[in-house]
Amino acid sequence: MTSLRQSIETYIQAKDSNRPHLMADAFTTDAELAIEVKTGEIAFPGSTRGLAAISTVLVSQFAQRYENIDTLCMGAPPCRLACV
């Protein structure tokens, strides 16, 4: 079973390195993605459903529109079950 942290790391590698084939290791086939963008500089749909659509939006379309944008995670990594 993939941990939440591993899924996040895989997503970042897939998006930042333009490797859509890695998205299957980050999202389930029936995943739903909700994005709230607080800038007019980047455009994403508010909701995307399914691994194929998420891969298209986050990797393929993003890489075609924008260059040299890296993802950063700030804060503590997610806990596996519950943080104490």
Q: What is the pLDDT of residues 45-56, one digit of tens each?
A: 889 999 999 999
Cβ–Cβ under 8 Å, residues 12 and 62: no
Task: Tell me what pLDDT residue 76 has.
Answer: 79
DSSP symbols for 5-67? HHHHHHHHHHHHTT-GGGGGGTS-TT-EEE-----SSS---SEEESHHHHHIIIIIIHHHH--
Q: Token digits for 20?
A: 């859509």
Alpha-carbon distance 61 to 42, whole Å?
12
pLDDT at 82 over 60: no
Residue-level pLDDT at 80: 58
pLDDT over threshold 60, residue 84: no
Q: pTM (2 decimals)? A: 0.75
